[in-house]
Chains A and B, each alone.
Chain A
Amino acid sequence: MDEEQMWKGFFFKLQELKMNPPTEHEHQLQDGDDGFFEKFGSLLRQKSQIDEGVLKSSLAPLEENGSGGEEDSDESPDGTLQLSQDSECTSIDTFATESTLASSSDKDISTSVLDSAPVMNVTDLYEEILFEIFNNIGCENNEECTNSLVEFVQDAFKIPNATHEEIYEAARLKEPPNVRLNVEIIKAENLMSKDSNGLSDPFVTLYLESNGSHRYNSSVKPATLNPIWEEHFSLPITENARDEVLIVEVWDFDAAETVKEKVNKILDVKGVKGLSKLMKEIAVTASSGKHDNELIGRAAITLKSIPVSGLTVWYNLEKGSKGRSRGSLLVNLALSAEKNKSVAVQEHKNLLKLLLMYELETSQVANYWWSGKFSPNAELIRSQHAAQSGLTPFDCALSQWHAYSTIHETHKLNFTLFNSILDVVVPVITYMQNDSEDVKTFWDGVKRLLPSCFAVLRKLRSKNTSDKNIIRALNEVLDILKKIKELEVPESVDIFPKSVYGWLHTNDTDETCNIDTAIEDAINTGTREWLEHIVEGSRQSKNTETDDEKLQYVIKLIQMVRSDLQRAMEYFDKIFYHKIQLNYSAVLYLFYDSKLAEICKSIIIEVCNNIKRLDVPDDQFEYLPNLENVNMGTTLFEVYLILKRYVQLGESLCSEPLELSNFYPWFERGVTHWLDISIIKALSRIQKAIDLDQLKAVDETVKYSSSAVDTLSIFYQIKIFWQQLDWPEVEGSYIFVAKIVNDLCRCCIFYAQQMSRRVENIFIADDNNKNFILSEEWCIAINNMDYIRQSLPSFIKELSIDDIIKRLGEYRTNLEAERCASTIKTVIENALDTERNQIVELIEIVARKMAPPIRRYLAEGAEVLAKDSNSMDQLMMYLESSLATLYDTLNEINFQRILDGIWSELSIIMYDLIQSNLDKRRPPAFFQNLNNTLQTMMDCFKMGNLQTSDIKILSSIQSRLRLYSLETSDLIHQYYLERLENQKSQESSPYGQLTITAQLTDTGLLLNILNARNLLPMDSNGSVDSFVKASFMPTSRFNDVPTVKTNVHNKSCFPLYDQEFRINLSDHQRSEKNSLIVFSIKDKDLFGMSSQYIAESYISFADLEATPPGEQIMMNLSRPEYTDSESLRALEYRLGDKQAKDFLKKLKNRSFS
Chain B
Amino acid sequence: MRAAPPEPEPLQLAGSGEQFLVLGDSGVGKTCLLYQYTDGRFHTQFISTVGIDFREKRLLYNSRGRRHRIHLQIWDTAGQERFRSLTTAFYRDAMGFLLIFDLTSEKSFLETANWLSQLRTHAYSEDPDVVLCGNKCDLLQLRVVSRDQVAALCRRYRLPYIETSACTGANVKEAVELLVGRVMERIENAACNREFSLLLTQSRCLPNIAYGQPEDLVRLHDRREEPCSRRNCRNC
Contact = CB atoms under 8 A, between A and B. Distances in A.
A620 B17 contact: no
A947 B54 contact: no
Interface residues of A, number: 61
B16 interface: yes
A781 to B, nearest CB: 14
B86 A615 contact: no
Interface string A664-682: 0100110110011001000
Interface stretch (B102-110, B136-144, B171-179, B206-214): B206-214
Given A613-B121, A908-B223, A949-B216, A749 B15 contact: yes
B18 A619 contact: yes
A84 B210 CA distance: 81
Given A739-B90, A808-B50, A616 B16 contact: no
B192 interface: no
A735 B87 contact: yes
A613 B89 contact: no
B89 A834 contact: no
Contact of A731 (B17, B50, B93, B210): B50
Interface residues of B, number: 50
B84 to A, nearest CB: 10
Most chain A C-beta atoms within 10 Å of own C-beta, residue among B93, B124, B224: B93
Contacts of A671: 89
Given A621-B15, A841-B209, A908-B220, A734 B92 contact: no
Contacts of A613: 121-122
Contacts of B118: none
B92 A614 contact: yes
A826 B93 contact: no
A738 to B, nearest CB: 5
A827 B51 CA distance: 15
Contact of B217 (A614, A742, A949): A949
B67 to A, nearest CB: 18
Nearest to B45: A815
A947 B53 CA distance: 37
Contacts of B53: 819-820, 823
A665 B84 CA distance: 12
A996 interface: no
B85 A668 contact: yes
A679 B89 CA distance: 11
B208 A619 contact: no
Contacts of B85: 665, 668-669, 672
Contact of A622 (B50, B199, B208): B199
A817 B48 CA distance: 11
B82 interface: yes
Given A620-B199, A819-B50, A837 B210 contact: yes
B209 A619 contact: no
A1150 interface: no
B157 interface: no
Interface in A308-329: none
Given A613-B121, A830-B56, A908-B224, A672 B17 contact: no
B47 A619 contact: no
A493 to B, nearest CB: 56
Contacts, number: 136
B12 to A, nearest CB: 10
Nearest to A749: B16
Contacts of A746: 15-16, 93
Given A668-B86, A676-B89, A618 B50 contact: no
A735 B86 contact: yes
B153 to A, nearest CB: 25
Contacts of A669: 85, 88
A735 B52 contact: yes
Contact of A912 (B19, B124, B220, B227): B227
Contact of B15 (A619, A675, A738): A619
A407 to B, nearest CB: 63
Nearest to A904: B220
A184 B71 CA distance: 111
B230 to A, nearest CB: 8
B86 A834 contact: no
A1077 interface: no
Contact of B83 (A731, A819, A844, A948): A731
A56 to B, nearest CB: 36
B73 interface: yes
Given A749-B16, A912-B227, A622 B195 contact: yes
Nearest to A911: B224
A830 B213 CA distance: 18
Nearest to A621: B15
B211 A836 contact: yes
A837 B206 CA distance: 11
A613 B48 CA distance: 30
Contact of B89 (A615, A675, A823): A675
Interface in B175-215: 195-196, 199, 206, 208-211, 213
Contacts of A616: 92-93, 124
B116 interface: no
B60 interface: no
Contacts of A837: 208-211
Nearest to B48: A816
Given A816-B50, A908-B223, A947-B216, A732 B16 contact: no
A750 interface: yes
A736 interface: yes
A840 B209 contact: yes
A616 B92 CA distance: 6
Interface string B32-64: 000000000000000111111111100000000
B204 to A, nearest CB: 13
Contacts of B208: 837
A649 interface: no
A819 to B, nearest CB: 7
B89 A750 contact: no
Contacts of B92: 614, 616, 676
A948 B213 contact: yes
Given A622-B199, A675-B89, A840-B211, A735 B220 contact: no
A87 to B, nearest CB: 48
Nearest to A730: B50
B28 interface: no
A960 to B, nearest CB: 12
Interface string A807-844: 01000100111011001101100110110110011001
Given A731-B83, A749-B15, A948-B213, A618 B95 contact: yes
A1052 interface: no
B170 interface: no
Contacts of B87: 735
A804 to B, nearest CB: 11
Contacts of B50: 731, 734, 808, 812, 816-817, 819-820
Contacts of B227: 912
Interface of B: 13-19, 47-56, 71, 73, 82-83, 85-90, 92-93, 95, 121-122, 124, 195-196, 199, 206, 208-211, 213, 216-217, 220, 223-224, 227, 230, 234
14 contacts: A616-B93, A620-B15, A620-B196, A665-B85, A669-B88, A672-B88, A672-B89, A731-B51, A731-B82, A732-B51, A735-B51, A738-B52, A819-B49, A949-B217
The 6 closest A-B pairs by CB, nearest first: A619-B15, A735-B51, A616-B92, A672-B89, A735-B86, A823-B54
Interface of A: 613-616, 618-622, 665, 668-669, 671-672, 675-676, 679, 731-732, 734-736, 738-739, 742, 745-746, 749-750, 753, 756, 808, 812, 815-817, 819-820, 823-824, 826-827, 830-831, 833-834, 836-837, 840-841, 844, 848, 904, 907-908, 911-912, 947-949, 953
Given A746-B16, A808-B50, 18 more contacts: A613-B122, A615-B124, A616-B124, A620-B13, A665-B85, A668-B85, A679-B93, A734-B51, A738-B52, A742-B93, A812-B50, A820-B51, A824-B54, A830-B71, A836-B211, A837-B210, A840-B211, A908-B223
